[in-house]
């Protein structure tokens, strides 16, 4: 015992603590039985909520709502703000998908995925011997696809926004020009991708300060990006696709050996598509159609488990994990063969999502033994019919919801910042199949349907999703993480809808990932206990050597008891939910 301890005070405080515990103990008994198995409680909002990876960007969204903007205005403001405060994935030089559900009950899907430049074809990344040129589709100027983000944000604003364009761009412009104080998450993000940025002088100057690394508490000003945002604020998307920014970008890309031309930029169009719709038990699911594979796989996996009582298996048990992993393997096997840009190839969605096909897939799962991936073949529908990315979810007081996932593909994309613009460029070309049968950056095998062709959109895994019950939205979510996106969204959906977890617990609960090939399970640190792992190994499952955290889910869930929305945000990258 430490004799210097103020003993009287110490005992007094012990007595007080005991009294407080006795008095409040019955209150604990009156709380809902579950409590939070989470890093923090969900955030409730009687009006709007904004969940993003970056607290500064979440606050931008909430402040737009407070100024009378709707969820679309906030989504546009956040989209531009994340390009400043979360440059690993927030972007102007990338692309993505926005799933919209407006207060009138209508839904829409804005596809602003990047497209292949006119000069790229299916052999673009192959050498004279037909072999893949290592790194060509992932780093540097030839990895860049024609960006879609600015067109996507402009379309979202034109169709749904209430506030003037200038007003929604202003917070991002100010964050770039005046700078913001960097926190630990920001510094860690830069540290872990230093090698990528170092190779490109403009990126090195801006993000690595030519070797004088940013420290926690430093103010980070991005003058060139501030210039670009000012042009976009003044002239709209035309500044980016044909005006001053376009000219600077094309000059920088040409100098670096890339192939994107002014025509590629001028020809780029964001498009509207019907969201993919499906059901799980009593819920209606709205999610991403092709060129994403994410929505289709989500619906297929939920469909395979339609009749299972997953709660009875027990979250995290060997049987529960086994069932989920076997489901993932089967869905990803089909992904390897059947999906691509719907403007170029047919996606056999009807057959892939047919209840009898999914029931057959489910019936083929042996509950006591893992099926080796080699033995799982993609289904036969032949009679013709990325860290990365970031997601944000916004709900406003009128009930409009925007579930938006956008990306540069790899963290900091191609690593290239176009000189004079401060704009980091994507490496989305790697989401194409450079050579059918050869894995891409994420180890995904893909078919000829996803081969490169001019103006084609690469197949994506992004899965912005909105779930309705009785016609009313109750859950909206999405995640980054390449193919792990699909399984993160799948598991958080099950955690909430089938297991009844609150939104923060559902996000924090450890996740598993299997993508058919390679035949191994990825798990999160401390995510599978050793006994469970042993049981699963004895069933024939292989685990990857390393565990690491994946996904970064940002979500809102309607709280029926409180009659208001609750927001959750993966705290491991420092994300936050801001309240209107
Ligand atoms: N770039 C990651 C994806 O779209 O799947």
Q: Whose CA is nearest to atom 3 of ligand 1?
A: 460
* pLDDT for res 33: 41
Name the residue of 428, 439, 450 whose CB sits within 8 Å of the most ligand 1 atoms, as the mutation to test its pocket. 428
In this structure, what token pair is assigned to residue 191?
Answer: 């540290």
> If DSSP codes are grouped into helix, strand and coil, which group holds residue 297?
helix
The predicted pLDDT at position 35 comes to 60
Counted domains in the chain? 1
Question: Which of 405, 430, 482, 513 for mutating ligand 1's site (highest number of atoms within 8 Å of CB)?
Answer: 482
How far CA 528 is from CA of 459, 494, 539, 572, in Å, comes to 31, 18, 15, 18
Summarised one tens digit per residue, pLDDT across range 299-310 is 999 999 999 999
pLDDT at 388: 74
Separation of alpha carbons 405 and 485, rounded Å:
10
pLDDT digits (tens, 9 = 90+) for 89-98: 999 999 999 9
| Residue 477 three-state SS | strand
User: Quick check: bond before 257 cis, omega within 30?
Assistant: no
Ligand 1 near 478 CB (within 6 A): no
> How confident is the model at residue 30, as a pLDDT?
40
Q: pLDDT-based confidence at 405, cuts 50/70/90?
A: very high
Q: Is 407's C-beta closer than 6 angstroms to any atom of ligand 1?
A: yes
Using a 6 Å cutoff on CB, does residue 389 contact ligand 1?
A: yes
- Nearest atom within ligand 1 for CA of residue 113: 4
Residue 387: pLDDT band by 50, 70, 90 thresholds?
A: low
Q: What is the pLDDT of residues 194-248, one digit of tens each?
A: 999 999 999 999 999 999 999 999 999 999 999 999 999 999 999 999 999 999 9
CA gap 386, 551 in Å, rounded: 10
Q: How far is the CA of 431 from the centre of ligand 1 (A)?
A: 6
What single-letter DSSP state applies at residue 394? E
Name which residue sits closest to atom 1 of ligand 1, judged by CA.
409
The catalytic residue among 287, 389, 417, 484 is: 389
Is the CB of residue 431 below 6 angstroms from any atom belonging to ligand 1?
yes
pLDDT class for 87, splitting at 50, 70, 90? very high
Average pLDDT over residues 78-106: 98
CA 407 to ligand 1 centroid distance, Å = 7
Residue scoring higher pLDDT (382 or 174): 174
The domain containing residue 351 runs over which residues? 1-580
Residue 437 pLDDT grade (very low, low, confident, very high; cuts 50, 70, 90): confident
- Cα of 482 to ligand 1 centre, how many Å? 5
Q: What pLDDT, in 10s, does the model give residues 306-344?
A: 999 999 999 999 999 999 999 999 999 999 999 999 999
Please give the biggest Cα pair distance in the chain.
84
- 94: CA distance to ligand 1 center in Å? 10
Query: What's the 2 CA to ligand 1 centre distance in angstroms?
Result: 57
Which range has the top average pLDDT, 241-255, 430-444, 445-459? 241-255
What integer is the mean pLDDT of 455-460?
97
Q: Which atom of ligand 1 is nearest to the CA of 410?
A: 1
Average pLDDT, the chain: 92
Ligand 1 atom 4: residue of nearest CA: 460
Summarize pLDDT for 472-522 with one digit per residue, the tens: 999 999 999 999 999 999 999 999 999 999 999 999 999 999 999 999 999
Gap between the Cα atoms of 124 and 428, Å rounded: 14
Res 352 pLDDT > 60: yes
Rg of the chain over all Cα atoms, to the nearest angstrom: 24
What pLDDT, on a 0 to 100 scale, did the predictor assign at position 381? Answer: 66
Strand bridging mode 107-112 / 95-101:
antiparallel
Asked if 389 and 97 touch (Cβ cutoff 8 Å), the reply is no
CA-closest residue to ligand 1 atom 2: 386
Query: Ligand 1 centre from 449 Cα, in Å?
Result: 16
User: pLDDT for 360-372, tens place per residue?
Assistant: 999 999 999 999 9
Residue 496 annotated among the catalytic residues of the structure? no
Q: 60: how many CB neighbours lie within 10 A of its CB?
A: 28
Q: For a substitution probing ligand 1, which of 429, 431, 433 has the most ligand atoms within 8 Å of its CB?
A: 431
CA gap 107, 225 in Å, rounded: 33
In this prediction, residue 34 carries a pLDDT of: 52
Ligand 1 pocket check for 137: Cβ under 6 Å: no
CA of 414 to the centre of ligand 1 (A): 13
CB 426 near ligand 1, within 6 Å: no
Q: In the prediction, which pLDDT does 548 show?
A: 86
Among the ranges given (220-229, 347-356, 378-387, 413-422), the one the predictor scored with the smallest mean pLDDT: 378-387
24 has a pLDDT exceeding 70: no
Tell me if 409 CB under 6 Å of ligand 1. Answer: yes
Ligand 1 contact, 482 CB (< 6 A):
yes
CA distance to 336, 377, 551, per residue, from 516 (Å): 9, 10, 18
pLDDT of residue 19: 43
Q: Which residues contact 522 (CB under 8 A, 6 or more apart)?
A: 484, 512, 513, 514, 544, 547, 548, 550
Pocket test for ligand 1, best of 461, 479, 551 (most atoms within 8 A of CB): 461
* 495 Cβ below 6 A of ligand 1: no
What whole-number percentage of the chain has pLDDT above 70? 92
- Mean pLDDT: which of 25-34, 438-447, 546-555 is highest? 546-555
C-alpha to C-alpha distance for 425 and 414, rounded to whole angstroms: 6
- Calculate how far, in angstroms, residue 413's C-alpha sits from the geometric centre of ligand 1: 11
- Give me the pLDDT at residue 543, please: 97
Ranges of beta strands (E only) in 244-388 are 271-273, 276-280, 283-287
Q: How far is the CA of 212 from the centre of ligand 1 (A)?
A: 32
Q: What DSSP letter does each residue of 329-349 carry, written as one string?
A: HHHHHHHHHH---TTTS---H
**In contact, 65 and 74? CB cutoff 8 Å:** yes
d(CA 260, CA 119): 8
């Amino acid at each position: 015992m430490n004799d210097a301890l103020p003993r009287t005070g110490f005992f007094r405080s012990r007595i007080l603590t005991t009294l407080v515990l006795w008095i409040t103990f019955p209150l604990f008994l009156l709380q809902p039985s579950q409590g939070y198995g989470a890093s923090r409680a969900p955030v409730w909002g009687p009006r709007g909520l904004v969940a993003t990876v970056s607290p500064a960007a979440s606050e931008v969204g909430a402040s737009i709502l407070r100024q009378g903007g709707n969820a679309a205005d906030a989504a546009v403001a956040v989209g531009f703000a994340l390009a400043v405060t979360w440059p690993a994935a927030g972007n102007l030089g990338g692309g993505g998908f926005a799933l919209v559900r407006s207060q009138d009950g209508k839904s829409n899907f804005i596809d602003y995925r990047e497209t292949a430049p006119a000069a790229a074809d299916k052999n673009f990344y192959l050498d004279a011997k037909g072999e893949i040129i290592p790194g060509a589709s992932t780093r540097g100027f030839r990895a860049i696809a024609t960006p879609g983000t600015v067109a996507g944000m402009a379309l979202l604003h034109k169709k749904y926004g209430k506030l003037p364009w200038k007003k929604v761009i202003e917070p991002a412009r100010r964050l770039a020009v005046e700078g913001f104080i960097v926190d630990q998450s920001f510094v860690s993000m830069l540290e872990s991708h230093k090698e990528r940025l170092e190779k490109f002088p403009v990126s090195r100057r801006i993000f690595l300060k030519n070797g004088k690394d940013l420290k926690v508490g430093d103010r980070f000003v991005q003058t060139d990006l501030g210039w670009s945002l000012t042009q976009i604020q003044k002239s709209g998307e035309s500044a980016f696709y044909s005006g001053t920014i376009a000219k600077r970008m094309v000059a920088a890309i040409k100098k670096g050996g890339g192939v994107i031309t002014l025509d590629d930029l001028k020809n780029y169009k964001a498009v509207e598509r019907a969201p993919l719709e499906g059901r799980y038990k009593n819920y209606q699911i709205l999610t991403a159609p092709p060129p994403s594979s994410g929505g289709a796989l989500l619906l297929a996996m939920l469909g395979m488990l339609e009749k299972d009582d997953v709660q009875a298996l027990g979250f995290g048990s060997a049987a529960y994990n086994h069932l989920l992993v076997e489901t993932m393997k089967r869905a990803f096997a089909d992904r390897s063969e059947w999906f691509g840009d719907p403007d170029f190839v047919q996606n056999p969605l009807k057959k892939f999502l047919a209840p009898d096909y999914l029931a057959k897939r489910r019936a083929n799962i042996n509950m006591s033994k893992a099926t080796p991936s080699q033995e799982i073949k993609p289904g036969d529908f032949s009679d013709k019919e990325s860290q990365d990315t970031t997601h944000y979810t916004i709900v406003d007081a009128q009930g409009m919801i925007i579930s938006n996932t956008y990306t540069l593909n790899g963290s900091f994309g191609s690593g290239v910042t176009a000189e004079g613009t401060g704009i980091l460029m994507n490496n989305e070309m790697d989401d194409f199949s450079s050579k059918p049968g050869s894995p891409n950056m994420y180890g995904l095998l893909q078919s000829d349907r996803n081969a490169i062709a001019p103006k084609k959109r690469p197949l994506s895994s992004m899965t912005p999703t909105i779930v309705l019950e009785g016609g009313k939205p109750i859950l909206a979510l999405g995640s980054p993480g390449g193919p792990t996106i699909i399984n993160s969204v799948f598991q958080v959906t099950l955690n909430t809808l089938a297991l009844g977890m609150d939104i923060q617990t559902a996000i924090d609960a450890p996740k598993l990932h299997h993508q058919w090939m390679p035949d191994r399970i990825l798990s999160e640190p401390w995510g599978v206990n050793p006994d469970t792992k042993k049981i699963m190994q004895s069933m024939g499952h292989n685990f990857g050597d390393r565990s690491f955290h994946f996904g970064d889910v940002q979500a809102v869930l309607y709280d029926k008891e409180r009659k208001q929305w609750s927001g959750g945000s993966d705290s491991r990258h420092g994300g936050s939910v801001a309240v209107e």
